[in-house]
Amino acid sequence: MNRQEALSTERLDTIYYLNHVENANHVEKKAYSMALHMHIKNISQQKSKMIYGSRSRQITINMYPTLDEELKLITQMEEEEKANIKIAQAIGLLNRAPGAHLIPAYDVLLQEGIQTRLDSIKELYRSSLHDAKKEYYKTAYILLKSFQQLINRYGKQAQEEMKQATGKEKLQLLRIVEACNHIKKKKPRTFFEAVQLVSFTHECIVDEAGSGSISFGRIDQYLYPYYKEDIENGRLQQAEAQAIVVAFFEKIAEHAGGWQNITLGGKAKDGTDLCNELTIMCLKASAIVKKDQPQISLRVHDNMSERVWNEALQLVKTGMGFPAFYNDDVAVSAKQSVGVSEEDAWNYGIVGCVEITSGGNEYSHAEGIRINWLKLLELMLHNGQCLLTKKKVVLQQVYEEDALDTIESFEIFYEWYKKELVELTKKIAYFIDEACIAYSLQWPVPFTSIFMNQCLEKGCDVTNNGTKYNNLTMNCVGIASTIDALQVIEELVFEQKKIRLSQLAKALKHNFEGEYESIRQACILCKKYGNNEDAVDQKAAELIALFCKTLEEIQPQHVTGKYQAGFYTSHFHATMGQLTGASADGRRAAEPMSASLSPAAGKDKNGYLAVLNSANKIKMNCFANGTVLDAKFLPSFFEDARNIEGLKQSILTYFQRGGMEIQFNVVDKATLVKAQQHPEEYADLMVRVSGYSAYFVDLSRSLQDEIMMRIENSYCT
């Protein structure tokens, strides 16, 4: 079969794919296997009769390489450098998880329809002079034809189910049949058809990625024209529209633990409030469905209506951890700092946990690397050696344990930490730049690429600089724990001279046990970040600014974009904490570190507003990959309407002073204790972890304990 025949054939069957996979390149292998997956996928068990689809985590080809697999493909790094990277991951100094984390251009798909895109691919294939691009367009065509046939299969499945259905259910199935027959080729005509096409497309993108963190972007914006026209023409009643949104959310929730984010609200560049009836419906749907999916993010600005505020705060009151609130002005500025145009920045959405992205336009390996700031401090105090594994890494400067006492001032020690942080950042930046090439060659996403802007025009995969903005990302973990530990060193060692630096290092090596417990108690009593203490908070502001400036000054060699910074931890403050020895803030070995940009659990003693004041000393308009600030309230807080109004005003004030994001846990410790003891009775209890909501009983014991420590200082009034 020649290439032109491949673009005109209707014979897309199992034999064709099996015959072509063996000698194909990796992009083609992924495409053929994904096409086959769409042909043989089991769609017979449909839970919903309102929104069709079969969400799964089926992996067509493994998309999650081990570090060893990636390093073997990197040709530009010395073996010694590779060995150091492996050690760094083994000891918890870094963690790499490339891929996924994007928002497809669902808005463009709705405007064009599938057949229009197929026709574009045919024309691009015909006009291309490059064999590699022709191969790319051939696979894109096969994938899109297979997608059409999957939609057709769904229509036939609904038709088959109609034979046994009656009443309302039969009418719903008829609507699905008619929708499938239309949207498999043409652009949607109605609100329902638009929702169903987005749902089908998302399902297959998730199947290809084999993961969550594929997100929807601003559905209240790109679905609103269909809703508005249907309402105005009498084709749809508001109650039916709400039912469709609820069914859509329930469909998303079938992919539990998928970090699928929906972004709502926001303003236009001129300040116009863009919230609409769908914004409200989505907030209501989240409260009705009561699932961990989809994650809900709300873009906030000064002109947001009271109605949206009320609905959002009522959702907070449920304790599900939704919505997370985002400051439009700071988020837009942050995206512009890494080269996103002003127009695209104003259309930002949230992907995965809290990652700010230009929907349909950006691929940034948002979880590409995470650096453990506290582990770096551990290595400095112990001659480059990990306390738990005894493995060693190379530092810029090394002090034997007894020689630590030759450091004459905190300023000298602090400058040493800054130097090590900068050099580590540069080394890791070089590594992920090289790794992104290996990833694009071995782990492409050709189906997803069809729905990312510019990939078709360029004729290359989204993982290989295919879309408009192609950045690389570094996230940080253990921030407050590190700041607190540095504060202890300044206070106890250099100001009060209660202990020597070598004594502190020995106490950490012994995990504060026995005779060293008194040192731990002294560490605990020192000032901590999150209490509006300038001496501590300024260190956070300085180190974060230094990290962001370092990234800004490095230019990647293999991607067309820039490096961007993220200050959220997801669950890694616990998992990387398990690999981190005792620390000078009083934390014992293997315990969780501080989460994201929040104070360490239980260390914020001066109340909620003090936490906001501490965070407001940090400039966040360079956090292009997002951040998290956790706050927690007892359920009783929401019994007084004045408290709810005060909470709203505190969010607005925090944002006016430069805060980027804030989210809330609403639960009491007694409930969490019971859930830990009797998990079978609390299967639906949700909490906010750090950037995402999850079922409490599904979390690891260390994460559960860390969240319970946070709740110790929950705010009541």
Each residue of 394-428: pLDDT tens digit?
Answer: 999 999 888 999 999 999 999 999 999 999 999 99
Q: What is the mean pLDDT of residues 108-128?
A: 96
Residue 145, pLDDT > 80, answer: yes
Q: What is the pLDDT of residue 62?
A: 65
Q: Range(s) for CATH 3.20.70.20 in the chain?
A: 74-104+361-625
| Overall average pLDDT of the 285-310 stretch | 96
Distance CA 221, CA 200 (A): 19
Specify the pTM.
0.94
pLDDT band at 332 (very low <50, low <70, confident <90, very high): very high
Residue 12, pLDDT score: 42
Q: Report whether 630 contacts 596 (CB < 8 A).
A: yes
Asked if the model's pLDDT at residue 690 lies above 80, the reply is no
The rounded percent of the chain whose pLDDT value lies above 70 is: 95
Contact between residue 536 and residue 482 where contact means Cβ atoms under 8 Å apart:
no
Query: Residue 61 has what pLDDT?
Result: 57
Q: Which residues contact 100 (CB under 8 A, 6 or more apart)?
A: 63, 209, 211, 212, 213, 214, 352, 367
C-alpha 521/C-alpha 349 separation (Å) is 44
Query: How does DSSP assign 635-675, residue by residue?
Result: GGGGGSHHHHHHHHHHHHHHHHTT--EEEEEE--HHHHHHH
What is the percent of the chain where pLDDT is above 90?
A: 80
First to last CA, the chain: 72
Q: Higher confidence at residue 605 or residue 693?
A: 605
pLDDT band at 212 (very low <50, low <70, confident <90, very high): confident
pLDDT tens column, 61-75: 567 789 999 999 999
Cα separations (Å) of 578 from 94, 383, 696? Answer: 13, 20, 19
Give dist(CA 623, CA 577) in Å, integer.
23
The span from the CA of 261 to the CA of 247, in Å, is 16
CA dist 41 and 46 (Å) reads 13
Render 145-209 in DSSP notation, one character per residue: HHHHHHHHHHHHHHHHHHTT--HHHHHHHHHHHHHHHHHTTSPP-SHHHHHHHHHHHHHHHHHHH
Lowest mean pLDDT among 380-384, 692-696, 710-714: 710-714
How confident is the model at residue 3, as a pLDDT?
35
- Nearest-10 crossing angle of helices 167-183, 131-162: 160
Integer CA distances (angstroms), 690 to 368, 539, 619, in order: 18, 22, 20
With bands split at pLDDT 50, 70 and 90, how would you rate the model's confidence at 314? very high
Taking the C-alpha atoms of residue 537 and residue 613, their distance in angstroms, rounded to an integer, is 9
195 alpha carbon, distance to own chain's centre: 23
Q: How far is CA 658 from CA 326, 615, 626, in A?
A: 11, 9, 13
User: 435 and 557 in contact (C-beta within 8 Å)?
Assistant: no
Lowest average pLDDT, out of 209-223, 463-477, 530-544, goes to: 209-223
Report pLDDT digits (tens) over 41-90. 889 878 888 999 987 655 555 677 899 999 999 998 999 999 999 999 99
Cβ atoms 106, 216 nearer than 8 A: yes
Average pLDDT, the chain: 92
CA 539 to chain centre: 26
Helix (H, G, I), strand (E, B) or coil at 124: helix
Q: Looking at residue 19, what is its pLDDT?
A: 59
Assess whether pLDDT exceeds 60 at residue 1: no
Tokens of 134: 């022709």
Helix H or strand E encompassing 311? helix 306-317
Q: Looking at residues 538-559, what average pLDDT do you find?
A: 97
- Name the residue with tokens 């200050």: 567
CATH number of this structure's domain 74-104+361-625: 3.20.70.20
pLDDT for position 337: 97
